[in-house]
């Protein structure tokens, strides 16, 4: 079965703040991942070994919490240009750090971003903050909607120092889905581990919202979402590799394949839906 992993983290690790690095590199072979970040050919070989056709390369501007400035976009577009068919570059605009969020969004998309990432707990605003004092965020969504570029929004908690987990509530995305009805939205992590019911509601309620399951241990996926099969046409595979506890892209796929879901649903989730959305 072909696989698209819509959510992995091979990023400009050197930009991460020291306290973030300390958390990120815990129990990880740092040199191995720095080598992957230095050479996209290495990542492509790893994808071959893991049987993964394409990956979504998550990337976002978060100067306060993570240390990522807007330079992450140049870095990511350059990295993904090694094989744009297999490396899906995410871009990002932090509306609090630019005078022209709309123009900056257009620029990032022109540079080659095929999706955008919004990370409320790490960017320290709500996903619907354009309703309360951050009008530039509406411009980001509007330009992405006009360009047909999907937006992955982090939902759920985060353990990184300085992260504001209360901004991870998927109900904030309900507003975004209402106000930008043609914007394709991926709910990353399905609100894990606190807000799965809210995530399920938002995905079912809005034709333009998809469930993206990265960061959820596949063995727990049906515990978290007992009615997953009902949403198989709107669920997108991702691992969050190499975040804590995720050994490899392949291990998660194999665990997922062992779940009691129909083969048709598995194929949609692992491949078909992402192909349509991206
Ligand atoms: Zn992630």
The Å distance, Cα 76 to ligand 1 centre, comes to 15
The Å distance, Cα 105 to ligand 1 centre, comes to 21
pLDDT score of 131: 98
The Å distance, Cα 267 to ligand 1 centre, comes to 22
The Å distance, Cα 189 to ligand 1 centre, comes to 8
The Å distance, Cα 126 to ligand 1 centre, comes to 17
What percentage of residues in the chain have a pLDDT greater than 90? 98
SS3 169: coil
The Å distance, Cα 65 to ligand 1 centre, comes to 14
pLDDT score of 55: 98
Averaged over 229-255, what is the pLDDT? 96
This prediction's pTM: 0.97
The Å distance, Cα 54 to ligand 1 centre, comes to 16
The Å distance, Cα 214 to ligand 1 centre, comes to 7
Residue 6 has pLDDT above 90, yes or no: yes
pLDDT score of 74: 98
Separation CA 267–CA 255 (nearest Å): 14
The Å distance, Cα 49 to ligand 1 centre, comes to 22
The Å distance, Cα 188 to ligand 1 centre, comes to 8
Backbone phi, psi, residue 6, to 5°: -80, 5
pLDDT score of 140: 98
Residues 6+ apart with CB under 8 A from 125: 95, 96, 134, 137, 167
Task: Give the tens place of pLDDT for each residue, 124-180.
Answer: 999 999 999 999 999 999 999 999 999 999 999 999 999 999 999 999 999 999 999
CA 259 and chain centroid, separation: 23
| CB neighbours of residue 146 within 10 Å | 15
SS3 66: coil
The Å distance, Cα 111 to ligand 1 centre, comes to 22
Name the pLDDT band for 181 (thresholds 50, 70, 90).
very high
Residue 245 has pLDDT above 90, yes or no: no
> What are the C-alpha distances in Å from 195 to residues 170, 172, 205, 262?
7, 11, 15, 26
The Å distance, Cα 24 to ligand 1 centre, comes to 12
Tokens of 23: 């958390």
The Å distance, Cα 238 to ligand 1 centre, comes to 9
Which residues in 106-135 are b (16+ Cβ under 10 Å) and which e?
bbbbeeebbbbbbbbbbbbbbbbbbeeebe
Mean pLDDT of the chain: 97
The Å distance, Cα 181 to ligand 1 centre, comes to 25
The Å distance, Cα 8 to ligand 1 centre, comes to 6
pLDDT score of 170: 98
Residue 51 has pLDDT above 90, yes or no: yes
The Å distance, Cα 57 to ligand 1 centre, comes to 9
Averaged over 21-48, what is the pLDDT? 95
Residue 244 has pLDDT above 90, yes or no: no
Averaged over 43-48, what is the pLDDT? 98
pLDDT score of 270: 98
Residue 227 has pLDDT above 90, yes or no: yes
Separation CA 252–CA 183 (nearest Å): 29
Using omega within 30 degrees of 0 as the cis cutoff, is the peptide bond preceding 242 cis? yes
């Amino acid at each position: 079965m072909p696989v698209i992993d819509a959510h992995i983290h091979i990023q400009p690790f050197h930009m991460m703040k020291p306290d973030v690095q300390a958390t990120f590199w815990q129990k990880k072979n740092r040199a191995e991942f720095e080598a992957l970040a230095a050479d996209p050919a290495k990542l492509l070989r790893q994808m071959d070994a893991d049987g993964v056709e394409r990956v979504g390369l998550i990337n976002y501007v978060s100067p306060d919490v993570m240390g990522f400035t807007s330079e992450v976009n140049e870095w990511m577009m350059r990295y993904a240009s090694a094989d744009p068919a297999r490396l899906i570059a995410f871009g990002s605009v932090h509306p609090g750090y630019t005078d022209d969020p709309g123009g900056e969004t257009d620029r990032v998309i022109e540079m080659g971003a095929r999706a955008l990432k919004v990370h409320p707990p790490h960017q320290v605003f709500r996903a619907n903050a354009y309703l309360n004092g951050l009008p530039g965020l509406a411009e980001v969504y509007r330009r992405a909607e006009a360009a047909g570029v999907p937006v992955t929004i982090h939902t759920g908690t985060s353990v990184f120092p300085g992260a504001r987990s209360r901004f991870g509530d998927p109900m904030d995305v309900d507003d975004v889905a209402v106000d930008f009805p043609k914007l394709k939205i991926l709910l990353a992590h399905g609100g894990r581990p606190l807000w799965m019911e809210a995530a399920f509601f938002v995905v079912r309620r809005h034709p333009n919202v998809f469930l993206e399951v990265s960061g959820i241990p596949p063995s727990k996926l049906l515990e978290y979402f007992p009615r997953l099969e009902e949403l198989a046409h709107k669920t997108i595979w991702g691992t969050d590799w190499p975040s804590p506890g995720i050994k490899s892209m392949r291990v998660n796929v194999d665990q997922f394949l062992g779940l009691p879901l129909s083969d048709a649903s598995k194929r949609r989730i692992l491949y078909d839906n992402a192909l349509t959305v991206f």
